[in-house]
Chains A and B, each alone.
Chain A
Amino acid sequence: MEAINWSGVKGIIVRHLFTWRRDLDRVVDAFWWATVDLIFWGLTSKYVEQYNTGIDIVAVFIGGIILWSVIIGSQREINMPLLDEAWNRNLINLFTTPVSIIEFVLATLVLGLSKLTVTMSFLSLLAFILYKYNIFDNGFFLLPAFANLILTGWAVGFFINGLILRYGYKIQSFAWALLFVIYPFSAVIYPVSILPPWAQGIARFVPPSYVFENMRSVISVGRFDINQLIAAFILNIISGIDQHDNTTIDKGKVDYTKELDVGVEGKRIGIISEMIGEGVDKQVASATSKAISKLQSLGAKCSEVSLDSIKYSVATYYTIAATEAGSNLARYDNIRYGFDFDVEGYEFNAYISKARKNFGPEVTRRMILGSFVPSAGYLGKYFLKALKVRSKIKSEIDQAFKKFDLLFAPTVPVLPFKIGEKIDDPLSLYLLDINTIVANLSGIPAISIPYEIAQGLPIGMQLFANSMQEKTLLQAAHALEKTTNLPGVPI
């Protein structure tokens, strides 16, 4: 493909922005019809609402109208620039210039997206003012929905452009009419299920119908639990062999997004005794027992399990991690890359140590620890001992997974502290890691679920599974997350 000349793209954008300011047609396109629809269907829904249908009818109608205008807007903005040139007898002139088709199309897409943004902002604001409808209540659902609608709009738009170029602008009315062919099958306001069977078949091939069906299910369920789905989706991508990483293995392809909602019925869950007793904040403890009883009510079999060596985990972890980190960070010597620092006049050791003075206090602390711990004379006392404890912890974990499918504990034993509060007390900072580093030391997967808000501070619960058992882990996390009463995640 030829290279894209961005000044050509820019030129076309500028040319159409000039028209927008003066052309009444365009203003009407952007605001008038959608506003009329919104008010009309808004009032209708208010009227229907009086009959107490049991569903949030305003949300269904208004959400439907706003989302439908996404597809109309993106389709029409594909056609308008082309029609505009055609009406002005400018099409031939345009393509005698060095502007290529791809540049014209790119400009069209940019114009369309920016106009769509303006229209959507206006409509959302209007819906909020008139009907207290907040489109962002839909949460993460909006992202795939918008992508679906915009792509559908573009596809129809390009199809119409093709017709116009083939048959001339005598068939320009397609630009307004064609989309309404799929309107009834998109199930904008009513569900697909009320369509006659033959029409349901067609609806299955109309992409927007999925968007509107989903929107209604989000509205009726109240929240769309997407966190574990996102995690599962990302895990699908990152799991398996990485050609550039020796520490990865291939255990066959697993689709983590499938069977995500099988629940925890019959699962044996071990509650780690050492993580729920001494030193646990009262509110964290109560959230923990609440979570345990929820898991039990979902059919999980919970019982306590003791892991003796866990009390050494912080010391073990920081001994090993500091050693590895200290050596990993050795490459920052300012020789191959780094900040501007002239070598002139330095012997290399002096240069390297001066360049490395720029690390912050916590990094320096770990590097010093990491140099001391494996040094001659201390290696056996600290580093080798830490390796031994690590294998002991690992074998205790292995034992535990013979009896349990999952292990459970609060993520952090106490409520969050303020930013900077413990900055001068690294030891107590390190100790907060006690519940999480077990996973790092033993190489097992763990997941933390935001569980409760206490005094405005979040409390998280944590699940562990055996190596390569991420699927079970995500299923349990999904089940547990559904039992929380956290407000929806704002975007």
Chain B
Amino acid sequence: LTKIGLEIHCQLTKLESKLFCSCKADYRSFETNRNICPVCIGLPGSLPLLNKKAVEKAAMIAMALGCKTPQKIAFFRKNYFYPDLPKNFQITQYNAFGPTSIGHDGKVPIEDKEIRIRRIQLEEDPGRLVYEGTSEKTQLTLVDYNRAGTPLVEIVTEPDFETPKQVRLFLNVLADLVENLGVSDPSLDGALRVDGNISIDKGNRVEIKNVGSFRDIEKALHFEITRQQSLAERGIPIPAETRHWDEARKITVSARSKEEEQDYRYFLEADIPWVLIESSVIDRLKKNMPENISSKKERYIKKYGIPLQVAEVLSSDKFYSDLFEQAHNEKNAKEIANIITTDLKGFADTKEQREQLKITPKHLSDLADAIMNNIITRNSGKLALQEIVKTGKPLSEIISSLDLGHVDDESSLSKVVDDVFNEEQQAVSEAKSNSDTINYLVGKVMQKTKGKADPALTLDIIKKKLDSQ
């Protein structure tokens, strides 16, 4: 029996400022040690000033994960010396004296399981150590405090996972959830970080830290299960320890320092008074909470008749669902959903691609309307979309400049069919007995009209001509 628990650190990247000062929460664009102030580098005499928005965003995460939020929350000091920790204590939350963190006792459904959330706490990120070379062989360790004080939400689960796959599913749900809530951008480097703990067959608990990307956690857990099982088979006891994930070698290695033995001497942070979480604030947050992913999916299926798989892709990705929400109306919803999840997806795979896209919600609704009103064919629609995402020009302009207009008058189409019949005489004679060959002929007509021909009408004309021959 495998038991896995997770500790997830999620930066609130959508906030303007840090947790206790007015420096930018988005530290990534700054030169080293340029996004700092007396508060976040802990100069003597500076005091923390709590960012109320951060409390609200953390409360939203707590709500979305089904947690309870106490009426009063408190902050604690976690004391330890480390060069990236400016004050040599971290301001965080702590529930050992009763639930005072922003969230506790929640649950998240995964497949047929329920993962219990032990607690959610709001805290500050430390700075970053920058090594010359690797951390093992470095000659020089430098500190960058730009990140210090960035608002961080730590989510601690109960050891309810049984397989690394469940972990992956949970993390996907979590990443989509924080993105959908508009509190964090999980695609940013370091915005979502995961530590795991794992024990097999009621053995000792091993912690896995330093997993760079949250995609690597699955690999690390697989490795750890195999390692522990093979130790157990040989009758070697598994020590309770902290292991670091070695990204290059894709294995876990025992941490030399005994981190788990540290005494953090938690006590109340007196510089920040208890924060009352008023029920009016909770009500307001609840009211303004973005629709959650599963109810969004349900709505897409029920209201617009969008197929399950399309609805799943659309609802779990905030970028797609935002586009959809702004573009659709009752009539064209299904068509827009199709365009987004089949055609647009190819141009919007990565974050960089998405930033380049010139498409607007209006483009999408125009495009869907044009297809539904037979102004262009679905095939031409793909060509038009390709041009839209590159240039951002209005659809009407693109249709005329690329000459995508639909060919649906019988006389001109029948001339094209005549041409094809002349060129493909053998196929024509075969087609009389073989319907597959008819499709071949339709394809040829499409080719000649660059996809503009109305497929149904083309088939009609071909059938008529074959019959009359």
Contact = CB atoms under 8 A, between A and B. Distances in A.
Interface string B252-269: 000000000001011110
A337 B41 CA distance: 10
B81 A330 contact: yes
A246 B271 contact: yes
A383 interface: yes
By size class, the interface of chain A is 20 to 34
Interface string A350-386: 0010000000000000000001001110010001100
By size class, the interface of chain B is 20 to 34
B49 A330 contact: no
Contacts of A384: 97
Interface in A303-338: 323-324, 327, 330-333, 335-337
Contacts of B79: 327, 330, 374
Contact of A352 (B81, B97, B265): B81
Contacts of B346: none
Interface in B369-388: none
B159 interface: no
B49 A337 contact: no
B87 A330 contact: yes
B420 to A, nearest CB: 79
Contacts of B81: 330, 333, 348-349, 352
Chain B residues touching A, majority SS: loop
Interface in B276-320: none
A247 interface: yes
Nearest to B266: A374
6 contacts: A244-B47, A246-B49, A246-B50, A335-B83, A336-B86, A374-B266
A247 B88 contact: no
Nearest to A349: B81
B273 A246 contact: yes
A468 to B, nearest CB: 15
A335 to B, nearest CB: 6
Given A244-B49, A245-B49, A330-B88, A324 B270 contact: yes
A376 B83 contact: no
A243, A244, A337, A384, most chain B CB atoms within 10 A: A244
B43 interface: yes
Nearest to A348: B83
B48 interface: yes
Nearest to B129: A348
A371 B265 contact: yes
Query: What 3 pairs across the A-B complex have the smallest Cβ distances?
Result: A330-B88, A374-B265, A331-B42
Contacts of B271: 246-247
B260 to A, nearest CB: 12
Contacts of A383: 267
Given A245-B49, A246-B49, A247-B272, 18 more contacts: A243-B49, A244-B39, A244-B46, A244-B49, A323-B267, A327-B265, A327-B267, A330-B89, A331-B42, A333-B81, A335-B83, A335-B143, A336-B41, A352-B81, A374-B267, A376-B265, A379-B266, A383-B267
Interface string A12-30: 0000000000000000000
